[in-house]
Amino acid sequence: MNQQSRGFLSIVVPAYNEAPNLRNAVETLVNEAMPLCDDLEIIIVNDGSKDATAETLLKLEAQFPQLRPINFSRNFGKEAALEAGLEHASGDAVLFIDADLQHPPSLMSSMVQAWREGADVVNAKKRDRGEESAVYRLASKLFYRLFSQATGVDFKGASDYKLIDRQVADAIKQCPERARFFRGLVAWVGFRQANILFDVQPRAAGESTWSTIGLIRYSISNLLSFSSLPLTFIAVVGLIMSAVSLLLCVETLVRYVMGRSLSGFTTVIISQAAFSGAILLAVGVLAIYVGRIYEEQKGRPLYIVRQKSVRDDKSISTVNS
């Protein structure tokens, strides 16, 4: 890129029931990003919102030429929204940020500067996680610890607030899996990465649509889709249970030889319960992975776009990822 050129920046914003935030978010992003680039597009992906998000985007699109709304036919999830934004982004660099502005837009200038200095990926990492429930905070720590062990990458403080170079965006789009985990894919493709710390801000408006149970389910799904750690875990459990059974056999034999055999079936019952639990655990984990293989082989699109933009000639399109 010519040093005098400031390039083309794409900003991807997943949104679900974020109507109260959208005007402030678009105005803030335009004001923060316009001085940083020559060309700007803001792709807001409406993930099947049930509020007035679609109507609000339609009004904002008429006021802001940089805005490119994408409306899903239903709620496909944040990962699908991030993928849709990535697929439609045309910039030299693509920046991902949440619509609630808990990711501070003021950090964008530092992220763009780090990119211009040679970083292919600029990760904004959480220094202060803001207001979170104790259960969610504990679940996050456990998830990131497990994911770090599974991938060998430090995910402490990780977020979806990132800026990636065009070559990184193209590399991620080559990954064919449907069960996607954006943060994991960015780490997996490698390239030169830089980290910038930030403090999570209060929501600009509205309430979070994430429940604690939903976040835990999302974390487990991402771990299963990006790692074989659970399969390794059940193999270790099986090895431990085999060792325990061998010790029980030795103990029983020694007691029999010494004439001190245990009366009753207590040992047998405990052993049966333990081994049955281990077998059911193994079958359950295997069933989850088989289910994911089944979902992958069907080859359905990751998302369906109901309406991309009033500027688009096509009112309905389907995108396969």
Q: With 50 as the cut, is the pLDDT of residue 318 above it?
A: no
Using the predicted structure, report yes or no on whether residue 122 has a pLDDT greater than 60. yes
- CA atoms of 74 and 313, how far apart (whole Å): 21
DSSP E strands, the chain: 8-15, 39-46, 67-72, 93-96, 121-128, 162-165, 193-199, 303-307, 317-319
pLDDT given at position 316: 36
Write out the two tokens for 106: 């003021």
Q: What is the pLDDT of residue 315?
A: 38
Ramachandran assignment for 267, one of left (phi > 0), alpha (psi -120 to 50 degrees), beta (any other):
alpha
* pLDDT for the residue numbered 96: 93
Higher-pLDDT residue of 74 and 126 is 74
Higher-pLDDT residue of 60 and 259 is 60
pTM: 0.67
Q: What's the pLDDT score for residue 313?
A: 44
Mean pLDDT score, 299-309: 69
**What pLDDT band is residue 213 in, cutting at 50, 70 and 90?**
low
Classified by CATH at the fold level, domain 8-227+300-319 comes out as Spore Coat Polysaccharide Biosynthesis Protein SpsA; Chain A (3.90.550)
- Indicate the domain borders of the chain: 8-227+300-319, 229-298
Which pLDDT tens digit goes with each residue over 280-296? 667 767 776 776 666 66
Contact indicator for 218, 208 with CB cutoff of 8 Å: no
Place 207 in a pLDDT band, splitting at 50, 70 and 90. low
**Parallel, antiparallel, or unpaired for β 93-96 and 162-165?**
antiparallel
Closest residue by Cα to residue 107 from 120, 118, 96: 96
The pLDDT of residue 49 is above 50:
yes
pLDDT of 94 higher than 90: yes
